[in-house]
């Protein structure tokens, strides 16, 4: 008896047991993931700039 994970049931077929990651994702799903990545990256950069802004203003005020 061969042990495998996840346990197979009789309803599963050979195509449903394919290795994960072997099939390519559809284009809209991949595009959506890339757009989310870009949006979150931009939000992170903007957040870092807003966090640094008060310190920059304090430094400019101290130099005058």
Domain regions of the chain by residue span = 27-63
47 or 14, which is more confident: 47
- Report whether pLDDT(5) > 80: no
What does pTM read for this prediction? Answer: 0.52
Q: Are 17 and 8 in contact (CB under 8 A)?
A: yes
d(CA 53, CA 56): 5
18 or 36, which is more confident: 36
Of how many residues is the chain composed? 64
d(CA 9, CA 52): 56
- Report whether pLDDT(23) > 60: yes
- For the chain, the maximum distance between any two Cα atoms, rounded to a whole number of angstroms, is 81
């Amino acid at each position: 008896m061969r042990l495998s994970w996840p346990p197979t049931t009789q309803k599963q077929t050979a195509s449903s047991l394919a290795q994960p990651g072997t099939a390519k994702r559809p284009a809209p799903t991949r595009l959506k993931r890339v757009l989310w990545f870009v949006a979150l990256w931009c939000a992170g950069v903007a957040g870092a700039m807003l966090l640094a802004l008060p310190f920059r203003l304090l430094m400019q005020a101290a130099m005058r």
